[in-house]
Structures are given as C-alpha cells and as structure tokens.
Amino acid sequence: MSIAKLTELLTQRLRRDQFSLAEGTLNEYAKDETGVYQALPGLLVFPEKKEEISFIIESCNKLGIPITPRGAGTGLAGNSVSFPGGVLLVLTKMDQIISLDSENGTVTVQPGCIVDNLKEYVARHGWYYPVDPASSGTSLIGGHVSTNAAGPHSYKYGSTKNFVAGLEVVLADGTLIHTGNVVEKSSTGYNLTQLICGSEGTLGIITEITLRLVRPPSLQNTILISFASLEDGLNTLIALKKSRLNIAAIEWMERSAIDIVALYEGKQEINIETNCACHLLIDIESDSVEEMESNILNLGSLMETLPYINILVSDSEQSREKLWRIRKLIGVAVRHHSTYREVDTVVPVNKLIELIHLVKETGIKYNFHSVCYGHAGNGNIHVNILREDLDDHEWNHVLTEGVHAIFEGVIALNGVLSGEHGIGLLNRPFMPLQFTKDEILIMRQIKKAFDPNNILNRDKVIP
C-alpha cells in the first residue's frame, strides 16, 4: 500500500488539516464502541465535500489501498474499524441538513449529521423521524443507513430502510450515483437504494441521504408491566401484538437488566417493582385524549385476563422519561459493570421464550452470566454476555464456542444473526450458520460487481 503516494495526491486537493498521519491521532480512531477489535489506520482523512470523497476513493482504487468509512464509531460489530494500514474516511465534518421538502415530507442530509439533531430539526417544522436507537444522541445518520439501524419505536414505524427515499453514493472507482426518488411508488428495476442500505460501506460510500418523514403522534403514554415469570411476560407480549391497541413500542427487560441499572444508578433511583422476573415497557400513541383514554381502558381489560404483578401508567412527560431512562441506561450500566460481548439476536416472537432459555442454558454450560433486554415486539433481544471474573482462556472459550452455540440456536429457531447492529468484523465468522455457500457466493458476486478491487470496507460482512 502506497500511503505516501496517496498523501502526495491528497496534498493537491485537501487542506493539511483534513488528513493526518500522526500516530497519536491514528490511535484515537483505532477502534469503535465494540471494543473487541483494534487496528491502526495508515491515514485519516476528513472530507467536507462529496467531490473530495470521490477523489479520495478514486485515488485509493488506483493505488489498491483499502478504505473504511467511519461516522461516530458507535457501532457494535466492528463495522468501522479500519483495515490495518488502510485509509479511514471520517465523515463527521459532512454534517449538514441540506433541505426540507415539506410538500413531499422528506429531508435531505449529509451522512455526518447526528441523528438527534436531525430529529430535533424536523420536529421544529412539524415532522417526525421515528428511528431511535439508544445511541441517537451521538450516532450519525450515515451509520444508521449503513447498518439499517432500528430502535424501540421500530415496532410501529420500521427500521431505517423504511425511511430512505434516495441516496447519493460514491462507488469504488470514484463515480457518483443517485438512487431512489421522493415518489411514493416505483416499479422500475433493481432497488439499489435498499441494496446499499445495510451494506455497511462495502458497496459504496454514502454522501447524501433523502429520508421520508411522518407526522408526529399527538399523544404518547408509557406503561410498565411487571411479571412473576418469563413465560407470563412473553405470553403477554403475544397478546399485545394481537390486540388493536395503537402500540408504538414494546420493550422487554429481564430482572438482571433492572438489577444492573440499580447497581449503576443506586436502587433509590429505580422506582419500579424489582421483585419480579421481567418487565414490558410499552408506548401507546393516540391522536386525542379520548382515544388515549380508550387505549388505556382496553389495555386494562386485556390485562384482567392475563397474569401480572403490577402495572405502572405514566401520568406526565416527566414520568415517561424516567421509565425510558431506565431502559436506555441498561447498555451503559452493562459497559460500566464488566467487559461484555453483545449478541444482537432476532427470532420470531413466538420463539422468544425458547431463545431466553437457550441463552441461560448456554450460560450455565460455559460459566457466564448474561443480561437480556430489547425490542421484544419484533423479536430482537440484546444478549449481553458478561466477562466478570472469567480468565482469558475461559473468556475466549465463551467468545468462540459460547457465542457459536447461541447463534446456532437462533438459526434453529428460524432467527437471524443481527437485527440492527450489523455484521462487521464481529459477526462475520458466523455468516455460514445463516447462509448457504450459494447464497454467500451471490453476495460475493454483488460485492465484486460494485468493488472489483475490494477496497471498500475490506474484510467486513461477507466471509
């Protein structure tokens, strides 16, 4: 790899503060939130224009230098860890909201825009962007598109791909293409927008995103239901999904998730029932006070037919925020408590009980504790495997054999390897559990068609 030659070329097109070879700076970008992988890039580049990205990628392609796109580094699968010695393309300076089209209900943004900034901007203009992963205060919209990110309210609204109307993308040879359109219907050939969404920067580098927006709900209410057993909680989930309630989110938290937040925050701050096996956290949306009251009454009638310990209905926006804060702190509390490995499992909702039993049985076999929680409404459970006191040998055994056992069980339950975190480096070795050799071959052929020299996010996703 000729980083020196590339640097010489960049000097002709970029300001000196737009790229760095300094070892200290390179070290700052050597890993992402996953924390498992660390690789020193050979060069950092901070583009500010799509034309600069096109030139950088074209130059890398000619010189055969791998290039990895990176946003805020909040990914949990090693998606944005650099290829060792390659170029790390940091997109944080491309953070502008370009335009809002109120007539068509779309917004066009650069990939480096922080998602909460985007959400706040469209809200000021009477619109709502519902995709809300826990990292949305720091994560960037380009990363969301690249991994097809989701979140609690994806139960009602869907994941990122449901909102991507069009993309501007730089291909491996530097060519700039546009995909999609703001129209609401299209039956015109291959859907390149959806192919690139979720491809983790392996097919092209996104430089502009047009998103569809929806009108915000008039009212939201949050309800926490506590249960004596796993079965009671997850059977209630099935009943809620069958109901006609206007539910926007159904989150599930096992007792260990609440315990670890209480340990992190202090038990006095967790003002909910703790002597139970699990909880469901539900958001209901309505267009009027009368409709909300009807939804709450109907929920009460449904729960009269089901076993539970306690129901807590929020009575203000402040109480809603307190309940959601507990849910959002689980991941933070886990990271504070122990080194961990997150497994982003998804199974059909009627298989969730089997999934949790599988995880706990695997924990007994491989001597680890786990904290499980997540978007149960669409079958997506985050399994946080804790290292705690395990030595290196025991922990490595868990990371290989233990995780393999969980993924094997997930596939047997007709599930998938990841619901929203992506494949990256972390889950790449397990792809053959879900896909046949022929299916993986098709993915490789698609990759080769887009990126013949394999420079874009090399060694990610496809085994």
42 and 58 fall within a common domain: yes
> What's the pLDDT at 268?
66
Residue 74 lies in a domain: yes
DSSP per-residue codes, 333-370: HHHHH--EEEEEEE--GGGHHHHHHHHHHHHHHHT-EE
* Cα separations in angstroms, 45 against 16, 88, 93, 199: 10, 6, 10, 21
Q: How far apart are CA 345 and CA 327, in angstroms?
A: 18
Backbone angles phi, psi at 166, to 5 degrees: -165, 160
Helix or strand holding residue 108 (H, E): strand 106-109
Look over the chain and give the mean of its residue pLDDT values, rounded to a whole number. Answer: 97
Q: Is 447 contained in some domain?
A: no
- On whether residue 433 sits in a domain, the answer given is no
- 237 in any annotated domain: yes
User: What is the total count of domains within the chain?
Assistant: 4
Quote the pLDDT of residue 115.
98
89 DSSP β-pair partners: 45, 69
Q: Are residues 67 and 168 in the same domain?
A: no
CATH no. for residue 129?
A: 3.30.465.10
What are the CA-CA distances from residue 373 to residues 78, 272, 279, 337, 351 (Å)? 21, 16, 9, 16, 15
Are residues 350 and 301 located together in one domain of the fold? no
* CATH value at residue 250: 3.30.70.2190
In what order do the strands lie in the sheet containing 19-20?
19-20, 43-45, 87-90, 67-70
Question: How much is the pLDDT for 214?
Answer: 98
CATH number at residue 375: 3.30.70.2740
How many Å apart are CA 420 and CA 133, to the nearest integer? 9
Looking at the structure, tell me whether residues 57 and 119 fall in a common domain: no
Q: Is residue 373 a part of any domain in this protein?
A: yes
Domain finish residue from 90, 117, 144? 90
Residue 198 lies in a domain: yes
Same domain, 205 and 294: no
Strand order in the sheet with 278-286: 310-313, 219-227, 278-286, 247-254, 369-375, 380-386, 340-346
Which of 39, 69, 90 corresponds to the end of one domain? 90
Dist CA 56 CA 6 (whole Å): 8
CATH code assigned at 15? 3.30.43.10
What is the Cα–Cα distance from 43 to 174, expressed in whole angstroms? Answer: 18
Nearest Cα neighbor of 235 from 149, 353, 322 is: 353
Contacts of 213 (CB under 8 A, 6+ apart): 105, 106, 107, 122, 127, 128, 129, 163
Q: Token pair of 364, please? A: 């007994």
pLDDT for residue 273: 77
Based on the domain organization, do 206 and 227 belong to the same domain? no
- CB contact at 8 A, 307 and 232: yes
Tokens at 313, concatenated: 């209905």
Residue 274 is predicted with a pLDDT of 75
User: Can you give the residue range of the structural domain that contains 82?
Assistant: 3-90
Residue 151 near residue 132, CB atoms below 8 Å: yes
Task: Look up tokens 């096992």; give the residue.
Answer: 254
Q: How far apart are CA 56 and CA 24, in angstroms?
A: 22
Please say which residue of 69, 90, 111 terminates a domain: 90
User: Do 284 and 229 fall within a single domain?
Assistant: yes
For the chain, report the end-to-end CA distance as a whole number of angstroms: 23
CA-angle at 154, arms to 149 and 427, nearest 5°:
35
Do 198 and 269 lie in one domain? The reply is no
**DSSP-derived 3-state class of residue 65:** coil
Same domain, 222 and 195: no
The answer to whether residue 444 is domain-embedded is: no
Separation of alpha carbons 354 and 347, rounded Å: 10
Note the pLDDT of residue 270: 73
Residues paired with residue 87 on neighbouring β-strands, in sequence order: 43, 67
Dist. CA 145–CA 180, nearest whole Å:
14
- The rounded distance, in Å, linking the Cα atoms of 234 and 236 is 5
Task: Using alpha carbons, list the distances in angstroms from residue 53 to 174, 291, 379, 422, 453.
Answer: 8, 50, 38, 24, 17
Q: CB–CB of 144/123 below 8 Å?
A: no
Query: Is the same domain home to 184 and 241?
Result: no
Q: Is residue 436 part of a domain?
A: no
Q: Exposed, middle or buried, 111 (CB in 10 Å: 0-12/13-18/19+)?
A: buried
Low-confidence stretches of the chain (pLDDT < 70) are 1, 268-269
pLDDT attached to residue 35: 86
